[in-house]
Amino acid sequence: MSTITRRGESQWQAKVRRKGFPAQTRTFLYKEDAERWARATERELETSGFIDRRKAESLSFADVLRDYQKDVTPNKKSAVMESEKIDLFLKDATLPSLSMAHLSSAEIAAWRDRRLKKVSGATVNRELTILSSIVNHVRRERGLHVENPVSMVKRPPAGRARDRRLSAEEEAYLFAALGKAPRRGDGTFGDGARNAYLAPIFKLALETAMRRGELLSLQWECIDLEGRTAHLADTKNGDARTVPLSTRAVAVFKALPKPHKGQVFPMSPVALRKAFGRGLERARQSYAADCAAQGRDADATFLQDVHFHDTRHEAASRLAEKLSNVLELSAVTGHRDLRMLKRYYHPRPEDLAKKLG
């Protein structure tokens, strides 16, 4: 049954009780609205279509994001990047201000459209996956009776797989820019990177096809320079993997600053990303200056649209020239699905032409 009572001079409280269900209460400015809500709630209770929305209405999506970031994200391999994405969600003009009851597919679709003006469809799809995981988690852990609105939103086309490869000139300029900056007599630094590990980690990425996270997790006790292997106890797909090392890769390890203990590359994913971005910019500037000095036109695409992860494409393509057996190649790169390996193997047509004779 339902009761409507007046509260103060301008509010009406509707209360609906039914055996076996929690009492439902809501306050309205107008009596007609209170009566309408009470009738609708009674109908839901009678038809077993009742959904207790009180928790969802009182819980803000901002609180859900912060709790997930604090309690769940730190236990993931991608904790740093996921935390950055959650910070991005929290800065949105609309999403954080919504309650879980009002987090609708229309709001998620509007957010998707705003993001597509800034980033690619593939990036938006990854972010939608994170949002979906967060909503599903709070539904399970807090017993919220809400639909997952992300599942009802159309995802944008992911676009073509990346096939960016470095030219010999691009690689030369980039290596020069990533090299450690010399320290001048007055204590200032010359052109180059402040981080002595930046060029070595880039070289190893090109030699081994290891992912950024795998390179950063490397421990010296897992490196066997005599046997020319590097053991990865925990990889992206969850399997351990031992990576064979070329003579150039071994030389990189031997040249790294001593003592050779603990973490091989003592830097965070965020620090690497920012340092690599600064190195790219230095390389572009150096190339433009050299072109101007030589009186030739600079290539507008030179070192544009380059990411550190592109080293995995480049390395896989180079390794494929040495390892003709695809199973051997997948053992090095760590791909369990050969279809995924194909996305990383991008041979140059001119190289294939040479093989044809």
Distance CA 75, CA 84 (A): 15
Q: Does the pLDDT at position 129 exceed 90?
A: yes
Q: Does the pLDDT at position 201 exceed 90?
A: yes
pLDDT at 186: 63
State pLDDT tens for residues 264-299: 998 888 889 999 999 999 999 999 999 999 988 989
- Residue of 236, 322, 336, 342 marked active site: 236
102 catalytic per annotation: no
Q: How many CB atoms lie within 10 A of CB 197?
A: 22
State pLDDT tens for residues 305-356: 888 888 888 888 888 777 776 777 777 777 766 666 666 566 666 665 566 6
Q: Please give the mean pLDDT across all residues of the chain.
A: 82
343 catalytic per annotation: no
36 catalytic per annotation: no
344 catalytic per annotation: yes
Contact 71, 138 (CB under 8 A): no
Contact 332, 246 (CB under 8 A): no
Distance CA 266, CA 195 (A): 10
Tokens representing 122 are: 């593939």
- Residue of 85, 211, 241, 273 marked active site: 211
Is the pLDDT higher at 166 or at 235?
A: 166
Quick check: pTM over 0.75? no
CATH class of the domain at 58-152? mainly alpha
Q: How many CB atoms lie within 10 A of CB 212?
A: 19
Residue percentage of the chain with pLDDT more than 90: 23
pLDDT at 112: 92
Q: How many CB atoms lie within 10 A of CB 326?
A: 14
Non-local CB neighbours of 331 within 8 Å, separated by 6+ positions: 241
Residue percentage of the chain with pLDDT more than 70: 81
Q: Does the pLDDT at position 9 exceed 80?
A: no
pLDDT at 343: 62
Query: Average pLDDT for residues 50-58, to the nearest whole number?
Result: 61
**Which CATH topology does 168-356 take?**
hpI Integrase; Chain A (1.10.443)
Instruction: For CA atoms 167, 170, 172, 174, give the dihedral sign.
Output: negative
Q: Does the pLDDT at position 184 exceed 80?
A: no
pLDDT confidence band for 120 (50 / 70 / 90): confident
Local structure of residue 152 (DSSP, 8 states):
G
Tokens representing 163 are: 């096939």
Tokens representing 202 are: 């880039």
Beta bridge partners of 88: none
How crowded is the C-beta side of 165, counted as CA atoms within 13 Å?
16
236 catalytic per annotation: yes
Q: Find the range with the poorest average confidence among 141-145, 246-250, 265-269, 344-348.
A: 344-348
pLDDT at 291: 92
pLDDT at 119: 86
318 catalytic per annotation: no
State pLDDT tens for residues 56-104: 667 888 988 999 999 999 988 778 888 999 999 999 989 898 888 788 8
pLDDT at 99: 84
pLDDT confidence band for 130 (50 / 70 / 90): very high
pLDDT confidence band for 10 (50 / 70 / 90): confident
Domain ranges of the chain: 2-50, 58-152, 168-356
